[in-house]
């Protein structure tokens, strides 16, 4: 694989990070809800053409690191070659679209350079309401995902640059305060368009081949740094057990079991023995588990390493299987 010199790679890496930071700020400032404007529950990212996370805004939430990656895998699996300039995809479902929970709505826009997909710009924002049985869509006592709100698989919100108004009307009809939701959705859409412009500017300055090489080098560099840090941990098995009080419905004393196995530059988190999926809405998807584990490990070993695919690739996670509905 080609490698850029360290100076060029650092220049491009910072240029990509500045794109995600700018789109993060634009989304925050243009959103309608205090959930995004004040609480900053949103993230922005750049992905390569295969859906790997290349760059994420510095202020992005750690739990979102794997959600956008999960979205991209679902998007590419579903649409494959049926992706075109001007398309924009939306999803929120944790089970079929890589999400964390229903209020976190993901958007992804393909970036085309010379009639070929070069990458994607993505963002995710926590909407103050996504429908369901209670305002906020996250009340205790819920026992199935259908009570939490509108489930959105990966679908086209824009086709060839045109808003799919029927779909948008359906989404807004199923939420409370649709005016606020509409404003937040268009803030996300605008952030995608800003990211598209900025990424094309960087490609125009450095060349598509150079930026594509930089994508791979950035991920590899992070993977190497994580491997170096993991290697400082003595080989062996490390065990921890904790207990949750309950799920809010029926289950009590819910066990969480974890065995961390370190061998050289490899680390595995095995949650075997953890309680199976419970009735209450405290369950977590594998993507969200991966994000939490990776962030915790990064914070302990190398806090300054950037959030990208190199972090996700450094960790193996084994967990009890989840249901999908």
Question: DSSP 3-state assignment of 99?
Answer: coil
pLDDT at 322: 64
Name the DSSP class of 133.
Answer: S
Give 257's contacts (C-beta < 8 A, 6+ positions apart): 240, 241, 271, 272, 273, 274
Handedness of CA 247, 249, 253, 256 (dihedral sign): negative
Tens-binned pLDDT, residue by residue, of the chain (325 aa) = 689 999 999 999 999 999 999 999 999 999 999 999 999 999 999 999 999 999 999 999 888 887 888 899 999 999 999 999 999 999 999 988 888 899 999 999 999 999 999 999 999 999 999 999 988 887 888 888 999 999 999 999 999 999 999 999 999 999 999 999 999 999 999 999 999 999 999 999 999 999 999 999 999 999 999 999 999 999 999 999 999 998 888 878 999 999 999 999 999 999 999 998 898 888 888 889 999 999 999 999 999 999 999 999 999 999 987 655 5
Question: Per the structure block, which two tokens stand in for 249?
Answer: 């419905």
Q: Is the pTM of this model over 0.75?
A: yes
Distance of CA 301 to the CA centre of its chain: 22
**How far apart are the C-alpha atoms of 96 and 110, rounded to whole Å?**
20
Q: Are 322 and 277 in contact (CB under 8 A)?
A: yes
**CA–CA distance, 247 with 236 (Å, rounded to integer):** 33
User: Cα–Cα distance between 113 and 149 in angstroms, integer?
Assistant: 37
| The predicted structure's pLDDT at residue 229 | 97
DSSP for residue 92: -
Task: State whether residue 90 is helix, strand or coil.
Answer: strand
Q: What CA dihedral angle connects 41, 74, 293 and 10, to 10 degrees?
A: -80
What does the alpha-carbon distance between residue 109 and residue 87 come to, in Å, rounded to a whole number?
A: 6
6-222 CATH fold:
Beta-Lactamase (3.30.450)
Q: How far is Cα 66 from Cα 288, in angstroms, rounded to an integer?
A: 7
Cα–Cα separations (whole angstroms), residue 320 to 63, 145, 197, 198, 270: 20, 19, 42, 41, 9
Which residues lie below 8 Å from residue 94, measured CB to CB, with a gap of 6+? 100, 101, 102, 145, 285, 287, 288
Please identify which residue in the block is written with the tokens 């491997």: 227
User: Can you give the residue ranges of every domain in the chain?
Assistant: 6-222, 230-318
Q: Which candidate, 184, 259, 264, 203, places its Cα nearest to that of 232?
A: 264
Q: CA 316, CA 312: separation in Å to the nearest integer?
A: 8
The SS3 of residue 35 is: helix
195 neighbors 23 (Cβ within 8 angstroms): yes
d(CA 296, CA 281): 23
């Amino acid at each position: 694989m080609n490698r850029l010199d360290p100076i060029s790679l650092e220049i491009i890496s910072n240029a990509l990070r500045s794109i995600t930071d700018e789109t993060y700020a634009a989304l925050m400032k243009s959103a309608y809800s205090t959930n995004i404007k004040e609480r900053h529950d949103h993230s922005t990212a750049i992905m390569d053409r295969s859906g790997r996370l290349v760059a994420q805004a510095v202020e992005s939430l750690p739990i979102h690191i794997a959600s956008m990656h999960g979205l991209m895998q679902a998007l590419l699996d579903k649409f494959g070659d049926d992706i075109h300039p001007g398309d924009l995809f939306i999803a929120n479902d944790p089970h079929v679209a890589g999400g964390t929970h229903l209020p976190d709505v993901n958007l992804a826009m393909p970036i085309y350079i010379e009639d070929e997909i070069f990458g994607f710009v993505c963002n995710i924002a926590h909407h103050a309401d996504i429908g369901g049985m209670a305002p906020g869509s996250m009340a205790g006592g819920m026992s199935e995902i259908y009570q939490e709100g509108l489930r959105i698989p990966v679908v086209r919100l824009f086709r060839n640059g045109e808003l799919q108004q029927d779909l948008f009307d359906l989404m807004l009809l199923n939420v409370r305060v649709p005016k606020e939701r509409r404003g937040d959705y268009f803030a996300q859409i605008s952030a995608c368009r800003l990211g598209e412009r900025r990424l094309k500017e960087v490609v125009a300055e450095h060349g598509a081949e150079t930026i594509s090489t930089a994508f791979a080098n950035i991920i590899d560099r992070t993977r190497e740094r994580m491997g170096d840090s993991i290697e400082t941990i003595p080989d062996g098995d490390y065990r921890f057990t904790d207990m949750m009080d309950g799920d809010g419905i029926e289950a009590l004393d819910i066990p969480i079991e974890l065995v961390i196995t370190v061998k050289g530059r490899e680390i595995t988190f095995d949650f075997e023995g953890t309680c199976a999926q419970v009735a209450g809405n405290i369950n977590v998807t594998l993507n969200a588990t991966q994000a939490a584990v990776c962030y915790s490990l990064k914070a302990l070993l190398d806090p300054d390493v950037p959030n990208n695919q190199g972090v996700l690739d450094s960790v193996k996670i084994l967990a009890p299987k989840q249901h999908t509905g």
